[in-house]
Structure formats: structure tokens, C-alpha cells
Amino acid sequence: AQTVTQSQPEMSVQEAETVTLSCTYDTSESDYYLFWYKQPPSRQMILVIRQEAYKQQNATENRFSVNFQKAAKSFSLKISDSQLGDAAMYFCASLTQGGSEKLVFGKGTKLTVNP
């Protein structure tokens, strides 16, 4: 079974600064996918960024980028130029395969952005 671990229950960052959220995972699969989801307070969870394990290049979406270290099974999210709207719970997730595909989530990191 896949497991996802987020060791930072809470993080804070000053507006316009950069913050990195950590995530490690464990899987026996050779082909898998990793995601970061954002859940603002009282709002729906939305996809921030995804990474295919077979791709060596780190994914980037505007101010969001990942540092994917396959050998270390690490998948951190870097948010550059943090904005007040980035404040949310961030969940790291992995996608299992084989039969029915389903997301496995970490416990989340609550990000606070200070003005």
C-alpha cells in the first residue's frame, strides 16, 4: 500500500516570500503520479500541480514548483512570491494503480501567509 507523509502540520510565510512544503511517500510501484492539492477554508480542494514519476524534470505551474527526488521518495512544493490567497491546507497525494486508481493523501500542511 502507498503511504504519504507530511511532517509539517503548520507553516507560515511572509507575503512575497518563498516557502517550501515537505512530503515523502512510499510505494512499491514503478509508475505512479504525485500531486499537490490546495484546500482553502470552507472551499473545495483544487489541484495545484502534478508530477509523473517517469519524468525527471520537475513540474512547474507559475509560482508553484516541485522538487521531486525519486530515489529519496521526496516530493516538496515550493511557492514563490507568496500571496494572501495562497493561505490554505495543502495536501500531498499519490496515485495508486492497478485495477481501480485512487488518490492517497497525506495529513496536510496548513499554510498561513502573513501580510
Partner 1 sequence: DAMVIQNPRYQVTQFGKPVTLSCSQTLNHNVMYWYQQKSSQAPKLLFHYYDKDFNNEADTPDNFQSRRPNTSFCFLDIRSPGLGDAAMYLCATSRDPRRVGGYTFGSGTRLTVV
**Interacting residues toward partner 1 by CB under 8 A:** 4, 9, 33, 35, 37, 42-47, 50, 52, 91, 95, 100-108
CA 32, CA 14: separation in Å to the nearest integer?
34
Nearer to partner 1 among residue 39 and residue 67 (C-beta): 39
Q: Provide the residue count of the chain.
A: 115
Radius of gyration of the chain (CA): 14
Closest approach of partner 1 to the CB of residue 81, in Å: 23
Closest approach of partner 1 to the CB of residue 62, in Å: 14
Nearer to partner 1 among residue 15 and residue 110 (C-beta): 110
Other residues' Cβ atoms within 10 Å of the Cβ of residue 18? 12
Closest approach of partner 1 to the CB of residue 16, in Å: 28
CA 110, CA 59: separation in Å to the nearest integer?
22
Nearer to partner 1 among residue 9 and residue 85 (C-beta): 9
Q: Cell 500531498 belongs to which residue?
A: 92
Nearer to partner 1 among residue 16 and residue 107 (C-beta): 107
Closest approach of partner 1 to the CB of residue 39, in Å: 8
CA 73, CA 77: separation in Å to the nearest integer?
13
